[in-house]
Amino acid sequence: MLKGKTALVTGSTSGIGLGIAKVLAGDGANVVLNGFGDHQAIEAMRTDIAQSAGVEVRYSPADMSKPEEIAAMMVEAEEEFGGVDILVNNAGIQHVAPVHEFPPEKWDAIIAINLSSSFHTVRAALPTMIGKGWGRIISIASAHALVASPYKSAYVTAKHGLAGFTKVVAMEVATAGITVNAIAPGYVWTPLVEKQIPDTMKARGLTEEEVKRDVLLAAQPTKEFVTIEQLAALALFLTTDAASAITGAVLPVDGGWTAQ
Ligand code: NAD
């Protein structure tokens, strides 16, 4: 049970992050939600999670591409809850284009949000975790932390970097009661995947069905999308004492994709 603990999940107004935030709240953790979206819809999510789980839920609109906003979010969590016990680095974006046509501003945004934001959250969260002698850091990487696909240069670079960062931090805090891991999902049906279908259709000259079958699920031997619930269940397991020997790991949940 996570009663009395606080989880901060970046990018938790949608998709995988929202699913993880709900499951951690369901196990008793207070939660800090973060991400973009319609204010009323986010407020409805916040109150719904708080009421159904009986925990405190706050929301930070901090932009994960802006280190100063990340720092302010972490200070607020410290003041509100006495620190973050479970940090889930999940916010991420995608852009699909050949490298010679890749817009430099998209490259910079993907590196900032999908990689550097984790450095900024981790550096702010660690001192309190070390002081308490307990912490869990879970980063949502990707199968693209382990293998590449064409037209995703910034994303693959950022996710490989996140895997490396995970291993380094795990080693630095291994004796402090803190585990640091990455989850590497294959394709999960979320708005992030839905949004990249038109660009992939354009980049490869394919129909929507062909993109799903021949590009997305072509990589996954199970031929099924991974579910948000499966990822949230693993994230919850990583918070338990039973998982305290798992650290520095990049754990694939990818229907066999990276086994090939
Ligand atoms: P999503 O688009 O449903 O959710 C992304 C979340 O990040 C949203 O809450 C959004 O508001 C937030 N976000 C985006 N930019 C932000 C910013 N600058 N600052 C703060 N929040 C921001 O996407 P998802 O599929 O749930 O992806 C979540 C994570 O999982 C990402 O890191 C993604 O790379 C990773 N992932 C997804 C898949 C997949 O197939 N969907 C596969 C592997 C890894």
Per-residue pLDDT at 202: 92
d(CA 249, CA 88) in angstroms, rounded, equals 15
The gap from C-alpha 243 to its chain's centroid, in whole angstroms, comes to: 19
pLDDT in tens, 132-148: 999 999 999 999 999 99
Mutation test of ligand 1: which of 22, 32, 63, 90 has the most ligand atoms closer than 8 Å to its C-beta?
A: 90
Place of tokens 């990018």: 11
Task: Give yes or no for residue 71 having a pLDDT over 90.
Answer: yes
- Where b means 16+ CB within 10 Å and e means fewer, 36-59 reads eeeeeebeebbeebbeebebebbb
Please check the confidence at residue 193 and state whether its pLDDT lies above 90: no
Name the pTM for this structure.
Answer: 0.96
The pLDDT mean for the chain works out to 97
On whether the CB atoms of residues 74 and 173 are closer than 8 A, the answer is no
Kindly tell me if the per-residue pLDDT of 219 is higher than 90. no
For position 125, what pLDDT does the model report? 98
Query: Among 65-79, 115-129, 154-168, 187-201, which stretch is predicted with the lowest mean pLDDT?
Result: 187-201
192 lines ligand 1 (CB under 6 A): yes
Mean pLDDT of 1-22: 98
What's the confidence (pLDDT) of residue 208? 92
Q: Which residues of 72-104 are buried (b: 16+ CB within 10 A; e: fewer)?
A: ebbeebbeebebbbbbbbbbbbbbbbeeeebee
Please state, in angstroms and rounded to a whole number, the distance separating the CA atoms of residues 1 and 98. 46
Indicate if 151 belongs to the active site: no
Confidence at 111, pLDDT banded by 50, 70, 90? very high
Provide mean pLDDT across the span 69-95.
98
* pLDDT confidence of residue 252: 98
Q: Which atom of ligand 1 is nearest to the CA of 112?
A: 18
Asked if pLDDT for residue 191 goes beyond 90, the answer is no
Q: How confident is the model at residue 88 (pLDDT cuts 50, 70, 90)?
A: very high
Tokens 């999510």 belong to 45
> 133 vs 195, which has greater pLDDT?
133
CATH class assigned to 6-186+227-253: alpha beta
Please, which pLDDT band fits residue 215 given cuts at 50, 70 and 90? confident
Mean pLDDT of 97-101: 97
Q: Any residues with CB less than 8 A from the CB of 75 and at least 6 apart, and which? A: 124
Task: Please say if the pLDDT value at position 27 is more than 80.
Answer: yes
For residue 248, what pLDDT band results from cuts at 50, 70 and 90? very high
Closest-CA residue to 186 (of 209, 207, 159, 168) = 159
How large is the average pLDDT for residues 218-244? Answer: 95
For residue 251, how far is the Cα from the chain centroid?
A: 13
> Distance, CA 175 to ligand 1 centroid (Å)?
31
- Give the distance (Å) from ligand 1 centre to CA of residue 253: 16
Q: Tell which one of 93, 108, 253 to mutate to probe ligand 1, the residue whose CB is within 8 A of the most ligand atoms.
A: 93
Residue 195: pLDDT band by 50, 70, 90 thresholds?
confident
